[in-house]
Structure 1
Amino acid sequence: MTTARLQDSGLSRGLLLLMSVATGLAAAGNYFAQPLLDLIGRELGLGPSLAALVVTAAQAGYALGLILLVPLGDLVERRLLAVSLYAATAVFLLMSATAANGTVLLASTALTGLTSVGAQVVVPFAVTLAAPAERGRVVGTVMTGLMLGLLLARTASGALSDVGGWRTVYWVNAVLMALMAVLLRVFLPRLGGDDRRLSYPKLLRSTVAMYRYEPLLRWRAGIAALSLASFSVLWTALTFLLVRPPYGWSESAIGLFGLVGAAGALTATVAGRLADRGHVQTVTGAGTVLLVASWLAIATGARSLVWLLVGVIVLDLAHQAVLNSSQNVLYALRPEARNRINSAFMTSLFIGGAVGSALTSAVWVHGGWTGVCVLGAALSAGTVALWVLERVTAGRAAGKPPQTSVDQELTMATTGHRPPRPTDPRS
């Protein structure tokens, strides 16, 4: 079945639900460790800073997979790519379940992150199958699954660790990922890459070239990276806050905070529908402002559970609005290069998340919860600044004469030959 026919027929609710669940399970594997950092650290002899590197390893591996593996969706048959990545993730989760020391756990976690980018093959897959008028809703639905997986992973890991220890979490997710690989193989349609003219090295060059020749990608990648960095600051430090007085919570209780974050994630489809109606810039702007505001409540949450809950919900809602509105804009740029654009965007996003997690461990040691909140607020303020600059720059660019087209520049980037520049129609 061709891409055009798939778009005409739309995307069934059942298949969309399957793809949403698939992205959630893949994302969950990278975040199971967050509420278990103290527990893992005690068993494997890791201090707080080294334990926090488990989260950083997952995000760094994910970022590497985004740049090296996701672009393949524009080159090879996408169902095969998605199924292969899900199966590999199941294998690496088994390695984590049997890890005898911190080194093995860090390595297997990084490899799990590398292959769990199968979720980011499924997202543009769903967008390609969807009717254009429903793109925002489809992006919102699939990304709701991803964010719920990310957030509820904490709840599930806390509960499972109470039942059978922290290794049980990885055993269960390995089985689920293997099952999902089978289901995707059965129900996904075959969908070939749109640009088979490119070799793999040229495909990677083309992906990197997207940053240079798509200004909107640069702005949105920067905004999203700072947003996820702020998001990661909270969820990395939250475990360290809640295990100490005045809270003193168990791992399972900490995991329940995923349910709080899920309330914000459920707004993703609302943001998608607003984007479909032409309000994408409003959604982004409101999201960046709410990110900053959330940290005022989170800072008060050091001794007030109510304010902590409010801050977590607002931050998750705001991050989801920023992320989904940005994806809605970017997926419309170049349909034939959708996986490469997604790769470039998501690589920046998760590098931001990895940096946020890494900074958090250092700031917590020296500045405690106050230092963490200052860091999160500063990163959030950066998203506001970049969004304002994007709007100002876009207004100035609207009056400029056309230059070499993106298509021509990308051809030069992948072939090494510069095409002739078009004549300015106003000359």
Structure 2
Amino acid sequence: MKVMTTPRSVPASSMSRSVAFLFAIACGLAVANIYYAQPLLDSISKEFGITHSSVGIVITITQVCYALGLFLLVPLGDLLNRRWLIAGQMLLSVLALIVVGTASSSTVLFIGISAVGLLAVVTQTLVAFAATLAAPAERGRVVGSVTSGIVIGILLARSFAGVLTDLAGWRSVYLVSAVLTFIMASALFRVLPHDKPERESLSYPQLLRSMFTLFLQERILRIRAALALMIFTAFSILWTSLVLPLSAPPLSLSHSAIGAFGLAGAAGALAAARAGRLADRGLGQRTTGVALILLLASWLPIHYTPHSLLALIVGIILLDLAVQAVHVTNQSMIFTVRPEARSRLTAGYMMFYSIGSATGSIASTMIYDSFGWDGVCLLGATVSAVALLFWSLTRRLS
């Protein structure tokens, strides 16, 4: 594969904390758009006359289109000017959010929500761009800061949507997000450099096919993608099924109270941002091992959820700390190879993230229906143990 390089207008240098913080906010805001609908399904069902058994398709459409965006849009960061690509995707997201917020029929709603999911992958373009802008010695720190914004956006989206819906209705969630996204697009366009990345002489179809070549050529990508699949399966096992024991007797918590547990997860995610600094110091493998041990251990306090909310909070913090630490380390390590293909590396890696999230969601609800909360915790612990075993067998290979 022939590589054509052009001078970069902005060499990798120290990325200020303020710019990294802006990237993190933008990532959190964009990824939250695909999670707002979860607490709004009941309101959407009533508004459009969609049965409760069918309204879940709103979530499915969003996630499927997000996966398509990972494959179809994120790799474009290796070909196009990322300043314009990011701003353009965010402005299109504004239009999609307005369509959802003003939808007059379920058909219009589905079209708008599909576009929202497809365009939310701008988060991954931002992560790859941040890794490119950062100096090698601080790449892990920058990636850690930016990806923390993604996890926090996911965890707080439900709470934000619930509160805003209580105040002004479900449509206000998407309309307010449209305004915030427009402001963020304007801010990023002013801050982002005039990007001229190293480019490969590939057509768009060749660009997409080259993602499969990267998996064949880069062992570290294969290993870290497999770890991503397992840790996000565990993450989704907890967060998909958690509402079931919390809303059932004897706890019988309200939806607002249940959503508040996302704050504990956000605390764990913030704490894990330091994992990137450890990766910068060459301690990525050690960080991964410790984090996977914590992930496995987190299921013990989580198991006591029906008897102790304090134990649950401890377990959530440990689990989110562990998942985020491995995630940050994974990305820090794969970004050290093939600088000209960082967007494709990100896209390929995140596809396994999506597969893991979907697998955990489906498996956890099925297991809960048959075996209750004990079964869910056993499933989560088993997946975590397999991830730890896989790491121990492959740590000398990457």
TM over 0.5: yes
**2:227, 2:391 within 8 Å by CA — same for their partners in 1?**
yes
**2:70, 2:347 within 8 Å by CA — same for their partners in 1?**
yes
Partner Cα separation in structure 2 for residue 360 and residue 173 of structure 1: 30
**Equivalent residue runs for 1:314-353 within 5 Å:** 314-353=318-357
Q: Which 5+ residue runs of structure 1 have no aligned equivalent?
A: 395-427
Residue type of the alignment partner of 1:389: L
**Which residue in the other structure is 2:314 paired with?**
310
Partner Cα separation in structure 2 for residue 290 and residue 105 of structure 1: 41
Q: 1:153 to 1:333 in 2, by over 3 A?
A: same
**Could you tell me which of 6, 12, 35 is aligned with 2:11?**
6
The offset of 1:392, in angstroms, is 5.0
Partner Cα separation in structure 2 for residue 51 and residue 239 of structure 1: 18
**Equivalent residue runs for 1:175-214 within 5 Å:** 175-214=179-218
**1:267, 1:317 within 8 Å by CA — same for their partners in 2?**
yes
Partner Cα separation in structure 2 for residue 51 and residue 94 of structure 1: 20
Residue type of the alignment partner of 2:228: A
**Equivalent residue runs for 1:290-301 within 5 Å:** 290-301=294-305
What is the TM-score of this pair, normalised by structure 1? 0.85
Q: 1:179 to 1:244 in 2, by over 3 A?
A: same
The offset of 1:234, in angstroms, is 1.5
**Which residue in the other structure is 2:223 paired with?**
219
Residue type of the alignment partner of 1:7: A
Q: Please list the CA deviations of residues 191-227 of structure 1 after superposition, one character each: whole Å capped at 9, or x if unmatched.
A: 1342241100110111121111111111110111111
Q: Please list the CA deviations of residues 206-261 of structure 1 after superposition, one character each: whole Å capped at 9, or x if unmatched.
A: 11211111111111101111111211121122233333322323332222122111
Partner Cα separation in structure 1 for residue 80 and residue 189 of structure 2: 15
Q: Which 5+ residue runs of structure 2 have no aligned equivalent?
A: 1-5
Residue type of the alignment partner of 1:59: Q
Partner Cα separation in structure 2 for residue 115 and residue 363 of structure 1: 32
**1:284, 1:322 within 8 Å by CA — same for their partners in 2?**
yes
Partner Cα separation in structure 2 for residue 366 and residue 38 of structure 1: 25
Q: 1:326 to 1:368 in 2, by over 3 A?
A: same
The offset of 1:25, in angstroms, is 0.5
Q: 1:305 to 1:52 in 2, by over 3 A?
A: farther
**Equivalent residue runs for 1:374-389 within 5 Å:** 374-389=378-393
> What fraction of aligned residue pairs are identical, expressed as a percent?
47
The offset of 1:115, in angstroms, is 0.7
User: Secondary structure of the residue that 1:284 maps to in structure 2?
Assistant: helix
Q: Which moved more, 1:377-386 or 1:208-217?
A: 377-386
Q: Which moved more, 1:357-366 or 1:318-327?
A: 357-366
Matched residue count? 393
RMSD value over aligned CA atoms? 2.4
What is the TM-score of this pair, normalised by structure 2? 0.91
Partner Cα separation in structure 2 for residue 378 and residue 108 of structure 1: 38
**1:230, 1:356 within 8 Å by CA — same for their partners in 2?**
yes
User: Secondary structure of the residue that 1:266 maps to in structure 2?
Assistant: helix
**Could you tell me which of 106, 111, 122 is aligned with 2:115?**
111
Q: Which moved more, 1:197-206 or 1:89-98?
A: 89-98
Q: Please list the CA deviations of residues 101-134 of structure 1 after superposition, one character each: whole Å capped at 9, or x if unmatched.
A: 7666555434322111111111111111111111
Partner Cα separation in structure 2 for residue 38 and residue 295 of structure 1: 30
Residue type of the alignment partner of 1:278: G
The offset of 1:288, in angstroms, is 1.5
**1:34, 1:235 within 8 Å by CA — same for their partners in 2?**
no
User: Secondary structure of the residue that 1:247 maps to in structure 2?
Assistant: coil
Q: Which moved more, 1:123-132 or 1:108-117?
A: 108-117
